[in-house]
């Protein structure tokens, strides 16, 4: 009996050992299959990584070749542009030379033909009238130098300097009620925008870019119900006087500056005004104290193609341009005393800059123009000479 029990226990133990060995073998087979799958994936990853590295290397080589090609093309284009620029400059110099040798006939008021006796009387009379209007005998011969001060503000505007107080005034835009005062040109040049300037608010907004600063007063046009000249005291910020300007319609005085209906100008002899009449530009001499108009002239200078004008010693210089904007040039000259002959009238060309001048204001003390061109503030130093009649006055009877 005991032997039978022992045999049964031995058989159970062997059966359990057999089942455990079977589970162990199954586990080993599963682990082995997983390892094989992982090895296959690692091998596939290595293969893909190698292919990606090869593609990346090829792409980098192609990009480097393309950049090198683009750089060579850039250098070639740059050389072509430099060559084109040199040719353009050469053509401009040749054009300047041709224009100097063969200038178009300036638009100058023609003299009437008279017998010699009448001519002598007329010249003597004009000489006497000149000293009633002006004591200055200078005429512009050319532009001696140019300086670009800075760029601040709108494409159109005005900056000027009072020849009496030496203060600089900036008018940004063509219609505004606030201008900026600077103690000097240097203060304006070092300022960032208008931040360092003294803001002056006007009672009425200005119209256009035809303002003038003269002896501590601002003279500007204000278009309300009527076109008015406002005299504003810059010392106490108050309106000193005003007057309706006697012009008909609302045509601009310059074709290139449609916002400027009347251009007020100050020179050695006081206050002037340029205004449109028909197709021409007219000139008026104004009393700076009362704003009365003392005398008027038809300059015979056409408005078509004009962009701005300035006065030196009672002589009007009208500046013309073309569309699209090209080189600004003085092509019409008018002397209030009719002392500038056709051969003496200068044909002045401004250096090519950005567009067209929106304003030109002459400072008689410094003998230079304060210009506004596409937002740039520019100084033109003028070279002056004596009028021919002042060097050799007509003979007296």
Question: Per residue in 92-110, is it b (16+ CB within 10 Å) or e — as a string?
Answer: eeeeeeeeeeeeeebbbbe
What backbone phi and psi angles, to 5 degrees, belong to 98? -65, -40
Can you give the pTM of this predicted structure?
0.68
| Non-local CB neighbours of 278 within 8 Å, separated by 6+ positions | none
| Non-local CB neighbours of 171 within 8 Å, separated by 6+ positions | 157, 158, 159, 179, 206, 209, 211
Q: What is the pLDDT of residues 267-323, one digit of tens each?
A: 888 899 999 999 999 999 999 999 999 999 999 999 999 999 999 988 999 999 877
What is the residue-averaged pLDDT of the chain? 82
Q: Residue range 84-98: average pLDDT?
A: 68
Q: What is the pLDDT of residues 252-280, one digit of tens each?
A: 999 989 999 999 999 888 899 999 999 99
List strand residue ranges (DSSP E) for 80-214, in order: 107-108, 138-151, 157-161, 168-172, 178-182, 198-201, 212-214
| CATH annotation of 121-391 | 2.40.128.630
**Contact call for residues 318 and 301 (beta carbons, < 8 A):** yes
Where are the domains positioned within the chain? 45-102, 121-391
Q: Is the model's pLDDT at 142 over the cut of 60?
A: yes
Q: What is the dihedral of CA 273, 278, 280, 285, to 10 degrees?
A: -20
Q: What is the pLDDT of residues 327-353, one digit of tens each?
A: 789 989 999 888 776 666 778 888 876
What are the CA-CA distances from residue 26 to residues 18, 33, 211 (Å)? 13, 11, 105
């Amino acid at each position: 009996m005991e032997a039978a029990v022992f045999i049964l226990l031995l058989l159970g133990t062997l059966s359990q050992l057999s089942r455990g060995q079977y589970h162990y073998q199954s586990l080993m087979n599963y682990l082995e299959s997983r390892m094989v799958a992982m090895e296959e994936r690692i091998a596939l990853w290595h293969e893909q990584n190698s292919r990606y590295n090869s593609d990346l290397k090829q792409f980098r080589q192609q990009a480097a070749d393309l950049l090198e090609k683009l750089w060579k093309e850039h250098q070639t284009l740059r050389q072509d542009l430099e060559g084109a620029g040199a040719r353009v400059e050469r053509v401009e110099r040749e054009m300047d030379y041709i224009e100097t040798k063969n200038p178009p006939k300036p638009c100058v008021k023609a003299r009437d033909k008279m017998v010699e006796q009448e001519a002598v009387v007329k010249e003597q009379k004009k000489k006497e009238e000149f000293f009633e209007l002006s004591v200055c005998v200078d005429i512009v011969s050319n532009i001696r130098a140019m300086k670009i001060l800075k760029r601040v503000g709108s494409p159109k505007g005005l900056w000027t300097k009072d020849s009496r107080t030496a203060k600089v005034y900036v008018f940004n835009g063509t219609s505004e009620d606030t201008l900026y005062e600077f103690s000097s040109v240097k203060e304006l040049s070092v300022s960032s925008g208008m931040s360092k300037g003294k803001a002056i608010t006007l009672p009425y907004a200005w119209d256009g870019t035809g303002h003038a600063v003269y002896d501590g007063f601002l003279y500007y046009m204000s278009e309300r119900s009527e076109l008015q000249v406002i005299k504003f005291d810059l010392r106490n910020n108050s309106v000193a006087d005003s007057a309706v300007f006697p012009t008909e319609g609302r045509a601009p005085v310059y074709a290139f500056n449609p916002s400027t209906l009347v251009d007020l100008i100050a020179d050695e002899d006081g206050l002037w005004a340029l205004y449109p009449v028909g197709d021409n530009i007219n000139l008026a001499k104004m009393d700076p104290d009362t704003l009365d108009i003392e005398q008027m002239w038809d300059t015979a200078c056409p408005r078509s193609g004009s962009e701005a004008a300035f006065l030196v010693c009672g002589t009007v210089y009208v500046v013309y341009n073309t569309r699209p904007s090209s080189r600004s040039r003085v092509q019409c000259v008018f002397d209030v005393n009719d002392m500038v002959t056709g051969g003496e009238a200068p044909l002045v060309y401004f250096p090519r800059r950005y567009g067209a001048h929106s304003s030109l204001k002459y400072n008689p003390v410094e003998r230079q123009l304060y210009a506004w061109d596409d937002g740039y503030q520019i100084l033109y130093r003028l070279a002056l000479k004596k009028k021919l009649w002042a060097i050799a006055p007509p003979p007296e009877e």
